[in-house]
Amino acid sequence: MIVLETERLRLRTISVDDAAFYLELTNDPAWIKNIGDKGLRTVDEARESLLNGPIEMQQRLGFSLYAVERKEDHTALGLCGLIKRDSLEDVDMGYAFLPQFRGKGYAREAAAGVLKYGKDNLNLKRLAAITSPENSDSYLLLEELGFKLDKILVLKGETRQTKLYSYHF
């Protein structure tokens, strides 16, 4: 299901058919460094992770991480969407893109679309975002979009520091 479209991109609900793409993305060295190693090593493990993660969240809450595709050729570039983590009070925006699609403005375009979707379709009043303190590409994008740094903390169940940002609509 297509959730939203931007000038160049289409964001759609993720499905088990995206397991190979999800496996590639979650094993990208930048994902492992900045987000963490999900321990997914097979397409079957990726499929199971999708079912128990974004697909379940979409069914339960009506939002999740979405597959980001280029309109022109339907190539899956990355993920961008909304997550409700037990460790955060607010819904947060997350994104990750395959290396060959970074630096082309896709993350900014997708994230701006998700911000608008959160406000206009979900009536969110506040949105959070988290990033590794070392991930300057990510936190600079958040700041460019209008997110403000709230604090640096260690999330429940984690051992490393995380920057917590918020956006008020």
* CATH code (residue 60): 3.40.630.30
Containing domain of residue 97, as a range? Answer: 2-168
Q: How many folded domains does the chain comprise? A: 1
- Cα angle 54-124-135, degrees, rounded to a multiple of 5: 60
Separation of alpha carbons 150 and 76, rounded Å: 32
pLDDT tens, the chain, 169 aa long: 999 999 999 999 999 999 999 999 999 999 999 999 999 999 999 999 999 999 999 999 999 999 999 999 999 999 999 999 998 999 999 999 999 999 999 999 999 999 999 999 999 999 999 999 999 999 999 999 999 999 999 998 888 899 999 999 9
Give the DSSP H or E segment for 163.
Answer: strand 162-168
CA atoms in the 13 A half-sphere facing the CB of 90: 19
pTM above 0.85, yes or no: yes
